């Protein structure tokens, strides 16, 4: 449980599921930005600030998911 955002975040995109809040996140390593997608909705056009509390809760308590799972919208 929990996702460490070390070297891996510099090398690849990371997808996070946080079912407690019905939300997923995508870390885009190329742009170093975070995007949010609530269950059943489209991904946000605007990035989420790195210090966003819900994003950080998702990193601490959420689970990693695959790109395919993220793209399906959970």
CB atoms within 10 A of CB 69: 13
Tokens of 1: 């449980």
pLDDT tens-digit profile of 28-54?
999 999 999 999 999 999 999 999 999
Please calculate the CA angle 66-70-74 and round it to the nearest 5 degrees.
Answer: 115
- Say if residues 5 and 59 touch (Cβ distance below 8 Å): yes
* pLDDT of 9 higher than 60: yes
Tell me the whole-structure pTM to 2 decimals.
0.91
pLDDT surpasses 80 at 2? no
State the pLDDT confidence band at 1, using cuts at 50, 70 and 90.
low
Q: How many CB atoms lie within 10 A of CB 4?
A: 9
Cβ count near 43 (within 10 Å): 14
Residue 56's pLDDT is: 95
């Amino acid at each position: 449980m929990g996702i460490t955002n070390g070297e891996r975040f510099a090398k690849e995109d990371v997808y996070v599921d946080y079912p407690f809040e019905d939300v997923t996140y995508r870390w885009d390593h190329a742009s170093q930005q975070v995007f949010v997608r609530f269950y059943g909705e489209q991904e946000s056009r605007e990035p989420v600030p790195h210090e966003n509390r819900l994003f950080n809760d998702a990193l601490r308590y959420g689970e990693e998911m695959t790109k395919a799972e993220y793209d399906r919208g959970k």
